[in-house]
Amino acid sequence: MLDYRLDEETEALRKVVREFAVEVIAPQIGGFYERDEFPTDIVRQMGELGLFGLPFPEEYGGSGGDYFTLCVALEELARVDSSVAITLEAGVSLGAMPIFRFGTEEQKQQWLPRLCAGEALGAFGLTEAGGGSDAGATKTTARLEDGEWVINGSKAFITNSGTEVTDLVIVTAVTGTKPDGGKEISTIIVPSGTPGFAVGKRYAKVGWNASDTRELSFSDCRVPAENLVGERGRWSSWPRHRNRHRPR
């Protein structure tokens, strides 16, 4: 017979997150919905609890846990509000995890400590208006010029991309042509505030109102060549999504 009970450490975390959700988030989250406002202070408190660093090693400011532990925390947050839960999930899985899994050691040292501490948020710019979350349909381009990537294009429905604590967006872009004539698609870190990178207004949504979701545009946006995340062209073979308009 399977034993579904959590181990002592994970159960202790679950109780802490549950208490935080009920006592801190529940009493005030309705006001953020009414004001269409991002709950920055709540996110910072989540960072102080160590939630953004759960699946990352201690050497980068994480807790040395795993994805299961993160899922336990997400479940408890989502019992009270899904906006806060998706902010955590996207910040970890879409903002920080690509850097941890595919980034250089320099990129990890530069970005992960603040992301793991919840002092900053990262976003992932994949979705586009004409292709949804189909990476193969990416139209945003990036060309190498004088040691810099020059990025042009736009993204849609990007979570955590325009908050006052957003530090970066990892953008998918066409960086060339493969030998078979297909698109070479790569991922590049674009720090917030980079000239040529513009963040649109928050979308008016039916749900997840306290979650930050925006359109992004790039007009001759220049970042260093070393901002490439992982191998050039790595995303060229990414499977084409059935859900073509899933927010990212």
The predicted structure's pLDDT at residue 118: 96
Question: Measuring CA to CA, how many Å separate 200 from each of 8, 86, 88, 173, 214?
Answer: 44, 20, 21, 19, 6
Q: For residues 194 and 149, what is the distance between their CA atoms, to the nearest angstrom?
A: 12
Give the helix ranges, DSSP H, for the chain: 8-20, 29-35, 40-48, 67-78, 82-90, 97-102, 105-116
The predicted structure's pLDDT at residue 180: 87
Q: Are strands 166-177 and 121-125 parallel, antiparallel or unpaired?
A: parallel
DSSP 8-class letter at 132: B
The predicted structure's pLDDT at residue 136: 85
The predicted structure's pLDDT at residue 238: 53
The structure's pTM equals 0.91
Which mean pLDDT values do the consecutive 10-residue runs of the chain (248 residues) have? 82 97 97 94 97 97 93 97 97 98 98 98 96 88 98 98 97 93 95 98 90 98 98 70 44
The predicted structure's pLDDT at residue 206: 86
- Three-state SS letters, 35-100: HCCCCHHHHHHHHHCCHHHCCCCHHHCCCCCCHHHHHHHHHHHHCCCHHHHHHHHHHHHHHHHHHH
